[in-house]
Structure 1
Amino acid sequence: MDIPDIRVEKGHAEPEEVAAVTAILLARAASAPAEAPARHGRAKAGWRRLERTPGFRAPHSWQG
């Protein structure tokens, strides 16, 4: 198993802190289900198509 490199982007972390974060991330990755769960909900986009909107929008509207 290849262990990915972990880098601190901002600030300074002691080796023990990096090891603790690495252990947590590896434990979470190992406990993740093999398959993604089935999605329940909409299969289509939640916004309206432009051709189905009313023809007039107020000039002060944020949608225009």
Structure 2
Amino acid sequence: MTIKVVRGNPTPEELAAALAVVRARAAAAAAVPSGAPGPRDAWADPARIAGQRVPLPGQASWARTYWPS
């Protein structure tokens, strides 16, 4: 693995910290078994909207579809 500093002049401590983060991410990615789904993005998680109440059908249900209660 090669890391190249494109801009700036990092201190040895800053460079070591950045390298530690990159190596930890690479190790975490390598630990995931092949074929296993990756981590889900919070926006793609169906549980994010599953807790919200859905308007019940009725005469004025169209009016309740936009405004949260």
Indicate the TM-score class for this superposition, using the shorter chain for normalisation. 0.3 to 0.5
TM-score (norm 2): 0.42
Structure number with greater CO (CA < 8 Å, separation at least 6) is 1
More helix by share: 2
